[in-house]
Structure 1
Amino acid sequence: MRMDNERESRNVEDRRSSSGSGGRGMPSMGTMMMLWPIVKPLLRTKFGWAIIGLGVAAYFAGFNPLSLVGMGGGSTATPVNKAKDDKQAVFMKKVLASTEDVWREILPKYGMQYKDPVMVLYRQGTRSGCGYAQSAMGPFYCPADQKVYLDQSFFDELARRHNAPGDFAQAYVLAHEIGHHIQNMQGTLEKVQQAKQQWRSEKKANALQVRVELQADCYAGVWAHHAHKKFNILEQGDVEEALRAASSIGDDTLQREATGRVRPDAFTHGSSKQRVEWFRRGLSSGDLRQCNTFQ
C-alpha cells in the first residue's frame, strides 16, 4: 500500500504512553455477564470470596485478572516494540487522513457534509464515551464521543491468530470503523438502537446488527475505491489482504475456531462470505447507494 507521501491526520489522540494504568472505572454490563460463569461458583466458599476480593483489587489497580486465564489484555501483555509501534501509528494517521479527504469530497454528493472523527490510539485500556475500552475488545467506534478506539496490538492478533497480515488489512479495519461514523452521521446507528430496545428477541437484534456491520464493510470498500482513484494507493495483493481480513473475522469462522460449530442466530457481524461480498460491492462500485444492507 503506497502511503509514504501522504499526509498524517491531526485528528488523533495518542494515549499510548498514558493508557493501561492508573486504575479503572466500573466494568461494563457485557464484562459482568462474561465474568458471571467464573464468579458464580466462587460465591459458595470463603476461599472463593477471597479470590474475588483479590480480583477486584487487581482490576481497579489496572491489572486485568482475566489475562491469567487467557481472556483479555492485562499488565502481563507482550512488551511493545516502540519503533514498530510508532511506525504503525504514523501509518494509521495517514490512513485516517485519506478517509478524511475521501469522505469530505464524496459525502456532499449525497447531501451530507463530513465531520471528521477522532482516532484514539491506546495500549491495554483507556476511557471512552462508551465505557472502559480494553484491547481485548478490538477496534471500535463510539457514537457518544465520535471517536475510533484502536489498540494496535489488534493487528498482531489479526496477523498471527487469523492469518490476515498486511498494511491494507489494517487500513480496512480502520475504514470499517469510519464506516460506523458515517452511519452515525446518517442517523442509522440511533435508529438501529431504538429498534433493538423495542424488541425482546435477541435473534432479531443480532440480525439487525449484522446489517449494520455489513454496511460498514461496504462503506470501507467505497473508501478504498475512491482512495485509490485519488491517491493511487493500492499495490498488487492489497485487495486480497483486505478480503482475507474480512473473511477471517466473519462470525462463522470465529465461532468455528472457538467452539467447533456455527450458530447463525448468534451472528453479530455477518459470515465470512457476507463480509467479503459487501466489501467487494463497495470497492467495485464506489457508490454509497449500493451499500443498503437494510433492504
Structure 2
Amino acid sequence: MVGRAALDRRSVLVLVALVATLGLIAGCAQTVTGKARAVGAVDPGTVAGLPVSNGPSGPKSGVADAKLTVENGDGGDMDKLAVNTIADVQEYWAEQLPANFGGTKFTPVKRYVSYDSDAAGIEICKTSTAGLVNAMYCSLDDSVSWDRGQLLPMLTEKFGAISVVMVLAHELGHAVQTRLGELSNITQATPSIIREQQADCYAGNFFRWLAEGKSKHFQISTGDGLNKILTTMFFIKDNVGSNFTKQGAHGSAFDRVSAFQFGFTEGPKRCAKIDLPEYEKRKTEVPLDNQAINSGNLPVNDKQSRDLLESSLKATYEKSGANPPTLKDGSASCSDAKATPPASYCPSNNTISIDPDALNKIGTPPGKKGQSGGLGDFAAFAEISSRYALAVQKAAGLSLEGTSAGLRTACLTGSWGGAAKKGVGRVGTSALTLGAGDLDKAIAELLQDKSLIAADVNGKPVDSGFARVEAFRIGFLEGSDACSAKFN
C-alpha cells in the first residue's frame, strides 16, 4: 500500500502488490507492564521498557463488540474489527490528549463509514469509493472510512487482524492533528510527509498503550507480535524511488518505522515535534534519479559486486584498526564459532565463509520469475556486512556472543549503510552506493526470524525486532563510534 493525500483534506492508503507473504498474527497475548525507557538508550532485555514477550497477538476473545453507528456497513467481521479498533483508539486519545496537551479535548470523529470497493460507489470526501481499496480520515466532514471488501480482508489474511489496528490507528492520528490545531505544528503549507510521519508516530503511541494491556479489544506481544507490525510497515511504504517532497508521500519503510518507534518510546509530545527540519536530518528515501551504480539490483555473487562490497566495508571500518577479514565462498570448519549460512565468521582465522546459493536467494529481487523468497541485493550485502562487523568487534576486544554483540552488529551494519549512502570505498570510478529502496531491503531482512544483521557470532539474533531496528538506526545516523559507546 502507498499512502496519498488529496490536498490536506484526508489521508488515503492505497494497496500495491505485496512482495512477500508473512506469517499471520492472531489470538491473544499476555498483559505486560513496564516503564518508559530513557531516550537514546536501547535495552536488549526490554522493548522501550516493557518486558519482551512472545506469543499470538490480535483481538481478545470473549469481549463484547463496541457500539458505534456505522454508515453503509454490513455488520460483518471486518466492520466489527474496524469499529472495535476505532473505539479503543479513541478511548486512548480521550485520555492522553488532555494529559499531554494542556487539557485539549479529544472528541470522537463524527462519521464512521464502511464500504465495499467491489460494489457500487458511494461518495466520501468528494471521492467515489468504486474501486477505492483504501482507509482514510477526511477532515472535510470529520470522518473515518474503510474498505471492508478488499483492504481489510487482505490485511487480515496477509498480516493478521492486528495490522488493521495499525492502519486505522494511523488514520485516527490525522484526527488527532485536526483536534490539536496549532499545537500539532501542522499548517496549510506543511508537506504531507510530515502529516504522515506524525500519524505513524501517533499510531506508535496507541500501540504502547495496547502493549501495556490497556486496550479493551486487542492485545499484542512485544516480541514476535510487535516484530510483525514493524515488518508490515515494509509493505505500506512509498513506492521505490518516490520523492518525499511529493504530495501524498508517507516515507520509506525505515522512515515510517522510525516515526512509529518514536511514538511507542517517547509519547505523544514527541510526535507533535516532527517537522520538516527534524525529518530532513533523518530521511532515507532515495529518488529514482539517483545515478549510483546500484540504483537497480546488483547480482550479489558477481565478482565486481563483491569487490565493491569489500572496498565499501574496508573504507567504512578503516579507522577501527581491525584487520579486514578474508571473504571466500564455501563452508569451512571453525574451532570457535558455529556456521551461520549464508555468511559465517570464524574468529580464529578471521575469515567469512559465504554460501553463494543462499546469498543469491536473499539477493534476488521480489517477484522475479522462477525464483522466490528474496528481498534484494542490499539485504544480501547486509548479511555479509554483519559478519564483517564481528571482525571489528574482535579487534576491539569485545565479546562476540550474546545480545550485546547482536546489537553492536546491527549498529555497525547500520553504520556501513550510512557510509554506503555516501559512496565510500571506490573501485576505480565505481562505488557501492545506496540506491532507491536499498535501505528498506536491509530493514526487511533485519526483521526476519533468522537474520544475521542483529545476530552474534553463532547466529543468535536479538529477540526484540524493536531493539534491532533502533540499534541499526543509531549506527546509520550516528556512525560506528556510537556503536561501541552504546553497546559495550
TM range (shorter): 0.5 to 0.7
Aligned AA (2:115): Y
- Candidates 160, 164, 178, aligned match of 1:166: 160
- Candidates 198, 201, 216, aligned match of 1:218: 201
Deviation track 1:250-276 (CA, whole Å, cap 9, x = no partner) reads 11xxx23xxxx4545446111111101
Runs (5+) with no aligned partner, structure 1: 18-84, 197-207
Offset at 1:158? 4.2
Q: Distance in 1 between matches of 2:156 and 2:64?
A: 26
Question: Contact 1:155–1:165 at 8 Å: present in 2 too?
Answer: no
- Candidates 263, 266, 270, aligned match of 1:290: 270
Matched, 1:101 2:91: yes
TM-score by length of 2: 0.39
Question: Contact 1:13–1:119 at 8 Å: present in 2 too?
Answer: yes
Q: Distance in 2 between matches of 1:224 and 1:167?
A: 14
Give the aligned partner of residue 239 of structure 1.
226
Question: Contact 1:130–1:142 at 8 Å: present in 2 too?
Answer: no
- Candidates 195, 204, 209, aligned match of 2:192: 209
Give the aligned partner of residue 250 of structure 1.
237
- Candidates 137, 146, 155, aligned match of 2:152: 155
Offset at 1:195? 1.7
Offset at 1:167? 1.3
Q: Distance in 2 between matches of 1:114 and 1:90?
A: 23
Question: Contact 1:135–1:151 at 8 Å: present in 2 too?
Answer: no
Aligned AA (1:248): F
SS at match of 2:174: helix
SS at match of 1:194: coil
Q: Distance in 2 between matches of 1:145 and 1:116?
A: 12
Offset at 1:227? 2.7
SS at match of 2:132: helix
Offset at 1:120? 1.2
Give the alignment of 1:50-129 within 5 angstroms: 86-109=76-99, 110=101, 111-117=103-109, 118-124=111-117, 125-129=121-125
Offset at 1:279? 0.7
Q: Distance in 1 between matches of 2:139 and 2:245?
A: 26
Q: Distance in 1 between matches of 2:173 and 2:104?
A: 14
Q: Distance in 2 between matches of 1:6 and 1:102?
A: 17
Aligned AA (1:123): D
Q: Distance in 1 between matches of 2:228 and 2:122?
A: 29
Query: Which has the greater radius of gyration?
Result: 2
Question: Contact 2:59–2:161 at 8 Å: present in 1 too?
Answer: no
Offset at 1:134? 4.1
Q: Distance in 1 between matches of 2:163 and 2:84?
A: 14
SS at match of 1:283: helix
Offset at 1:90? 1.6
Q: Distance in 2 between matches of 1:290 and 1:212?
A: 14
Q: Distance in 1 between matches of 2:182 and 2:233?
A: 22
Q: Distance in 2 between matches of 1:146 and 1:94?
A: 18
Matched, 1:277 2:258: yes
Offset at 1:115? 0.7
Flag the 1:250–1:88 CA change in 2: closer, same or farther, 3 A: same
Question: Contact 1:158–1:245 at 8 Å: present in 2 too?
Answer: no
Question: Contact 1:3–1:91 at 8 Å: present in 2 too?
Answer: no
Aligned length: 206
Question: Contact 1:7–1:97 at 8 Å: present in 2 too?
Answer: no
Deviation track 1:222-278 (CA, whole Å, cap 9, x = no partner) reads 011113321371135321232122221111xxx23xxxx454544611111110111
Offset at 1:4? 2.4
Q: Distance in 2 between matches of 1:130 and 1:188?
A: 26
- Percent identity, aligned pairs only, is 23
Give the aligned partner of residue 8 of structure 1.
65
Aligned AA (2:180): Q
Q: Distance in 1 between matches of 2:89 and 2:126?
A: 23
Runs (5+) with no aligned partner, structure 2: 1-57, 279-488
Q: Distance in 1 between matches of 2:127 and 2:61?
A: 35
Q: Distance in 2 between matches of 1:189 and 1:7?
A: 35
Question: Contact 2:244–2:250 at 8 Å: present in 1 too?
Answer: no
Q: Distance in 1 between matches of 2:82 and 2:60?
A: 10
Give the alignment of 1:190-201 within 5 angstroms: 192=186, 194-195=188-189
Deviation track 1:157-190 (CA, whole Å, cap 9, x = no partner) reads 4467xxx511111100010001011111112699
Q: Distance in 1 between matches of 2:168 and 2:71?
A: 15
